[in-house]
Structure 1
Amino acid sequence: MLRHGCRVAVAKRFSSTVQRVDYKLDARDIPNDATIFSMIQPTGKFHLGNYLGATRVWQDLCDLKQPDQKLLFGIADLHALTIPKPNVQEFRQFRNEAIASILAVGVDPQRATVMHQSSIPQHSQLHWLLSTLASMGYLNRMTQWKSKSNLKQPTLDAGAIGNVKLGLFSYPVLQAADVLIYRATHVPVGDDQSQHLELTRYLAEQFNSTYKTDYFPLPKTLLAPTKKILSLASPDKKMSKSDTNQESVIYVNDEPNVIAKKIRKAVTDSIMDHFNYDPVNRPGVSNLINIISGIQRKSIQEVEKDVSHMNNFKDFKNYVTEVIVEELKGPREQFARFMKEPGYLDQVVKRGTEEAQELAENNYKEIAKIVGL
């Protein structure tokens, strides 16, 4: 069931546009006429954080889809270019692997539209229109461009800011266009993207107010039962494919013996007679408990109870390994299958592009008419 509220500060007028779902989506959580949109960066094959933090929710939405609902899931390849990709062949491979990963985790292309962001030019067209409504001051308050530029308060200075690329600074406006071009009503995201959805609603309001229309709905931030998975080696940071220590990352296509090896090496602590969730004092153990909680869709307290009889790290880590291996068995096998069928991946993207293109083109024609183009 849904609970209203959010752990991050949101503007009062947006408080009713944030929904949190506990553990697993229910058919009653989403209106029958909802348009649901979300994208993920093309970093190649997914890791456990991508899976539990985003794409498994997409699978849930496919399973629950009603006839009048629209599901649109994409690869944010334009966003990925905010950090240039000079190795073009690798970038294209990552795009293909991302599509294969989406399908491998259970997204049904018969129920959901799957496409590359760059294939729908209306994203960029609406981006320009919305950029005329977005203030520099508002964009300056966005946190991710600062973190991706390695800029930290209070050391920000004119020189450092002057080196930030325009695309990185303004990409939240493109992100808003991604959502609004489809007139999406719900966007499943993690807490770290809530700020960008606030901007999306703000720009939707600005557009509606400026042009005296109610064309854009204010999309709801669907804080679905996602889990922020941390590095196995450094549980003070998120699990990331770019981590130089690849032992800290579990991929959906890792073989069972590889997963076992990585979990055995996972950072824990010196307390062996019990295992409890304490992110401050026991970050490594807490991360493993959080992983179990996410996979099993159980509360932290339930997981703590399940492992309460264990009194050594061997038993605890073996249990974590078994849970992960069993969960990723299907996705691992499906990913291998899809990567051997590039023609099928092209077919899925082609069909998804046509579906998304039709909706985006029809909407943009109406938007252009509203603004006088």
Structure 2
Amino acid sequence: MAAFKPLVFSGVQPTGNLHLGNYLGAITKFVALQDSHECIYCVVDMHAITVPQDPQALTAQIREVTAAFLAAGIDPRKHIVFNQSQVHEHAELAWVFNCVARIGWLNRMTQFKEKAGKDRENASVGLYAYPTLMAADILVYRATHVPVGEDQKQHLELARDIAQKFNNDYAESIASNGFGEGFFPLPEPLIQGPATRVMSLRDGSKKMSKSDPSDYSRINLSDDADAVAQKVRKAKTDPEPLPSEEAGLEKRPEAQNLVGIFAALADRSRADVLREFGGAQFSSFKAALVDLAVTKLGPIGSEMKRLAADPGYIDSVLADGAERASAIARPNMDAVKDILGFVRRRG
């Protein structure tokens, strides 16, 4: 296999109401990666329409995710930030991959089964083919690494299978076009320490979610300092003091969640947090968590609001990112066409 330049690609759906779970689970990792890797960060709006969307809301949500990236510390001058639909090579390569991937492979994708539910016959073809578009998102840049959560590991494995099959199926043409033994890399998952699983502030057994009817179940990244403080103070707890060791958090989901949030925001281990607060009542621990959460999240919420008031600037960031992304994607897609034997316009 040919040597490939290290490149990180990751995409986030513009689903709206980004919350603390999104921040700790993904965005903080994106910010950290930009110090050590060349990164492309994409707002995957084409993935969003695999289920019905309100057009006006989708526009706002694309800008909101972009604002969150910028407010959290991603530098759009050093790295590429754009929305997927502005770079048509994603869709072009997805069609090629639809012809490479096998139906049996897609039938094994568990996320489609979960999202389509019992009414699979009524699901969109786009939802079914979502993984081939995700493979195209990554491979149109010949990206080598992808930060993934547990729910996306299967899709990344499929992307590797598609890349391998393309390389095998067109090995002779790839070599004759000067690309050596393989055109696409087999992208590797990028695991950055244990994943932070953030649960609802009202029910420690459920994931924090934008769809929860109670706004007090989550901390939105757009919340101001007062809202963050109020939600932490009202977070569900139990009457027992905090334990001194992690084993004492078992069967105490709300306590486990708040300790985990503190540890993630402070970049400390849960064991370290419990050594400091073990034996304390929740009132004193929550006071410390309020201070920490407001310090960390308050500026992000304020900056997101400032950016939201200037959609022209956000759109200019996306347009600049799309132009730079296209400069990478276009020659790669041209090469794919040559490998396939398509006749294309030159110059």
- TM-score where L is the length of structure 2: 0.89
RMSD, aligned α-carbons? 1.9
Counting only pairs closer than 5 Å after superposition, residues 250-269 of structure 1 correspond to structure 2 as 250-269=219-238
* Contact 1:275/1:304, CA 8 A, preserved across alignment: yes
Gaps in structure 2 of 5+ consecutive residues: 175-181, 343-347
Are 1:76 and 2:53 an aligned pair?
A: no
Counting only pairs closer than 5 Å after superposition, residues 177-256 of structure 1 correspond to structure 2 as 177-212=136-171, 213=174, 214-225=182-193, 226-256=195-225
Quote the Cα distance in structure 2 between the aligned partners of 1:72 and 1:119. Answer: 14
Which among 116, 121, 125 is matched to residue 149 of structure 1? 116
Q: Is the deviation greater in 202-211 or in 334-343?
A: 334-343
What's 1:170 paired with? 129
Q: Which has the higher helix share?
A: 2
Quote the Cα distance in structure 2 between the aligned partners of 1:329 and 1:144. Answer: 34
Gaps in structure 1 of 5+ consecutive residues: 1-30, 152-159
Quote the Cα distance in structure 2 between the aligned partners of 1:162 and 1:365. Answer: 36
Offset, 1:257: 2.2
* Contact 2:83/2:322, CA 8 A, preserved across alignment: yes
Closer, same or farther: CA 176–348 of 1 in aligned 2, 3 Å: same
Are 1:294 and 2:264 an aligned pair?
A: yes
What's 1:59 paired with? 31
Offset, 1:273: 5.4
Quote the Cα distance in structure 1 between the aligned partners of 2:121 and 2:226. Answer: 48
Deviations 1:212-254 (A, max 9, x none): 1400011110012441211112222221212211111101221
What's 1:10 paired with? none
**Structure 1 ranges of 4+ moved more than 6 A:** none
Q: Which amino acid aligns with 2:337?
A: A
Offset, 1:120: 0.9
Are 1:38 and 2:6 an aligned pair?
A: no
What's 1:93 paired with? 60
Offset, 1:32: 11
Offset, 1:362: 0.7
State the number of aligned residues.
Answer: 329
Deviations 1:49-105 (A, max 9, x none): 11111111121122335xxxx3110101111111111x2111111111111111000
Quote the Cα distance in structure 2 between the aligned partners of 1:338 and 1:97. Answer: 9
Offset, 1:277: 4.1
Quote the Cα distance in structure 2 between the aligned partners of 1:220 and 1:35. Answer: 11
Closer, same or farther: CA 267–137 of 1 in aligned 2, 3 Å: farther
